[in-house]
C-alpha cells in the first residue's frame, strides 16, 4: 500500500503527472490537492481501470491535511510557471510562500513522506522545504529531492538527436549534476552511455547550452502560456516511479537529483570535495532505498572542460541556496 500525493494537481504539470501516477501499479492511493478544480480532476481519473484510489481536495475543511494524511510520497508542482523574459528566480516571490505553506502541511501531517519538489526555482525551493521541516524537528535529508529529471531526459533526447537516432533515446544515460537553472545545470557528456559521434567544438558547446537552457526553448514556443508541462510530467513520473520501486524493496536504483549534501554519512562529503566547495545542496546521482538515499555517489571522472562548467555553476547555486534558507531563517520584515 503506497499513497502518492500531488500538490498543485490541477495545473499544467499536476494533471498529466497525476494521470501517470494513476497508471503506476505501485500506487494504491492517489491524493490530489490544489486551490482549484481537484474534485473534477479526481473524478475524471477515478474512472481509469488501475488500482489507485483517487481523492481530490481543495483548501476548505482542512483539504491539505486530508490529502496528505498517510502519504508515503508527496510531489509538489504547485506554483506559477515562467513567461518569456523571466528567469526561474523571478518566480521566487510567489512560489517561495506557496512551497513554505505546503511544506508546513507535510511537516505536521506526514513528516516521514518522501518529498519531490518540482516548483521553481528548485535551487531555492528545496532549501525552503528543508528549513520548514527543520523548524518542526522532522527533517530527514535522505527523503527530500529536487526533481532535476527533466534535465536528464532532455540530455538523453538531445544526445540521441546528435546520433541522428531517436530510437536510442530511452537507453541514453547522461548524468546531469549541479542545480536546475541555466549554467547551474551541468551535463557530464563525457560520461554519456552513448559516446558522442565526432562533432565540432561549436556543436559540442551548443549541445551543452541546449541542455542548460532547454526550459527557455519551451517557454519561448509556448509564448506566454507557461513552461514545460508534459515533458515535466513524464520526467516527474519517471523519478517518482524510481522512488516507488525503491520503497518496494528493489535494490540498486540510481538517479541524479538535487539533494542536501549534509546527508554526509551517505557520501555528501565526497561530492563536496569533488566540487571543491562546502555547498549544502547539489544535484548528484544517488542510490535509493526504502528509507530514502542509501548513498550519494561520486560524480566520477570529469574532463577539464566539465570541471570548468562545475566551477561556473557554484556561485549562482550558492546564492540560490542562501536565498531559500534565508526566506525561512531570516525572513524580511
Ligand X SMILES: O=C(O)C[C@H](O)C(=O)O
Ligand Y SMILES: NC(=O)c1ccc[n+]([C@@H]2O[C@H](COP(=O)([O-])OP(=O)(O)OC[C@H]3O[C@@H](n4cnc5c(N)ncnc54)[C@H](O)[C@@H]3O)[C@@H](O)[C@H]2O)c1
| Residue 14 is labelled as binding a ligand | yes
> How far, in Å, CA of 216 to CA of 218, rounded?
5
Among the listed residues 2, 160, 227, 320, the single contact to ligand X using CB under 6 A: 227
- 155/300 Cα distance (integer angstroms): 18
Is 228 a binding residue for ligand X by CB under 6 A? The answer is yes
User: Residue 101 Cβ, how far from ligand X at the closest point, in Å?
Assistant: 21
Examine residue 210 and tell whether it contacts ligand X (CB under 6 A). Answer: no
The smaller minimum CB distance to ligand Y, of residues 66 and 295, is found at 66
The distance of closest approach from Cβ of residue 222 to ligand Y in the complex, given in angstroms and rounded to an integer, is 9
* Residue 3 contacts ligand X per CB under 6 A: no
Say how far apart CA 324 and CA 84 lie, in whole Å: 24
Candidate list 5, 6, 8, 113; residue touching ligand Y; CB under 6 A: 8
The closest alpha carbon to 246, from 2, 6, 7, belongs to 2
In the complex, minimum distance from the CB of residue 81 to ligand Y, in angstroms, rounded to a whole number: 4
Asked if 213 contacts 316 with a C-beta cutoff of 8 angstroms, the reply is: no
| Catalytic one of 47, 136, 163, 180 | 180
> Considering CB under 6 A, how many residues would be counted as binding ligand X?
9
Q: Which of residues 34-53 bind ligand Y (CB under 6 A)?
A: 34-36
Terminal-residue alpha carbon distance, the chain? 44
324 touches ligand Y (CB under 6 A): no
Fill in the DSSP letter of residue 113.
S
Exactly one of 79, 105, 141, 215 binds ligand X (CB under 6 A); that residue is 215
Q: Which three three-digit cell numbers place residue 218?
A: 519551451
Binding mask 87-126 for ligand X (x = CB under 6 A): -x-------------------------------x------
Q: Establish whether 180 is a catalytic residue.
A: yes
Rounded CA-CA distance 79/234 in Å is 18
Tell me which of 6, 218, 261, 263 binds ligand X, using CB under 6 A.
Answer: 218
Please report which helix (H) or strand (E) contains residue 296, including its range. Answer: strand 292-296
Give the span between the Cα atoms of 283 and 264, in whole angstroms.
14
Contacts of 168-175 with C-beta under 8 Å, sequence gap 24+, read 168/194, 175/256, 175/285, 175/299, 175/300
Grid cell 536565498 is found at: 323
Segment interacting with ligand X (CB under 6 A) among 58-66, 214-222, 240-248, 294-302: 214-222
What grid cell was written down for 221? Answer: 514556443
User: If you search the block for the grid coordinates 483548501, which residue do you land on?
Assistant: 59
Tell me the binding residues for NAD(+): 8-14, 34, 95, 118-120, 232
Binding site for ligand Y (CB under 6 A): 7-8, 10-14, 33-36, 77-82, 91, 95, 98, 101-102, 118-120, 122, 147, 150, 180, 226-229, 232
Please give the positions annotated as active site: 180
Binding site for ligand X (CB under 6 A): 82, 88, 120, 150, 215, 218-219, 227-228
Amino acid at each position: 500500500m503506497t499513497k502518492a500525493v500531488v500538490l498543485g494537481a490541477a495545473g499544467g504539470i499536476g494533471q498529466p503527472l497525476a494521470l501517470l501516477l494513476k497508471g503506476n501499479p505501485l500506487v494504491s492511493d492517489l491524493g490530489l490537492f490544489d486551490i482549484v478544480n481537484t474534485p473534477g480532476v479526481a473524478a475524471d481519473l477515478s474512472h481509469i481501470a488501475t488500482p489507485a484510489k483517487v481523492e481530490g481536495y481543495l483548501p476548505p475543511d482542512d483539504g491539505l491535511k486530508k490529502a496528505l494524511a498517510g502519504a508515503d510520497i508527496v510531489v509538489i508542482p504547485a506554483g506559477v510557471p515562467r513567461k518569456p523574459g523571466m528567469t526561474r528566480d523571478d518566480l521566487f516571490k510567489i512560489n517561495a510562500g506557496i512551497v513554505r505553506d505546503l511544506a508546513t502541511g507535510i511537516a505536521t501531517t506526514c513528516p516521514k513522506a518522501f518529498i519531490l519538489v518540482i516548483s521553481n526555482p528548485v535551487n531555492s525551493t528545496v532549501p525552503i522545504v528543508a528549513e520548514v521541516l527543520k523548524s518542526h524537528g522532522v527533517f530527514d535529508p535522505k527523503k527530500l529531492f529536487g526533481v532535476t529529471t527533466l534535465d536528464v531526459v532532455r540530455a538523453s533526447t538531445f544526445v540521441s538527436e546528435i546520433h541522428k537516432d531517436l530510437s536510442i533515446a530511452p537507453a541514453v544515460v547522461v548524468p546531469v549534476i549541479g542545480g536546475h537553472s541555466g549554467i547551474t545545470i551541468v551535463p557530464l557528456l563525457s560520461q554519456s552511455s552513448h559516446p558522442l559521434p565526432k562533432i565540432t567544438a561549436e556543436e559540442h558547446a551548443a549541445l551543452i547550452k541546449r541542455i542548460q537552457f532547454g526550459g527557455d526553448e519551451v517557454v519561448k514556443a509556448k509564448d506566454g502560456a507557461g513552461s514545460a508541462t508534459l515533458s515535466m510530467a513524464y520526467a516527474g513520473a519517471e523519478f517518482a516511479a524510481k522512488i516507488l520501486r525503491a520503497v518496494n524493496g528493489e535494490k540498486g536504483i540510481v538517479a541524479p537529483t538535487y539533494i542536501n549534501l549534509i546527508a554526509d554519512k551517505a557520501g555528501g562529503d565526497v561530492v563536496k570535495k569533488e566540487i571543491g566547495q562546502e555547498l549544502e545542496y547539489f544535484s548528484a546521482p544517488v542510490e535509493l532505498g526504502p528509507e530514502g538515499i542509501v548513498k550519494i555517489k561520486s560524480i566520477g571522472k570529469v574532463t577539464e572542460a566539465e570541471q570548468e562548467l562545475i566551477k561556473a555553476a557554484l556561485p549562482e547555486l550558492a546564492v540560490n541556496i542562501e536565498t531559500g534558507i534565508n526566506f525561512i531563517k531570516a525572513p524580511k520584515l
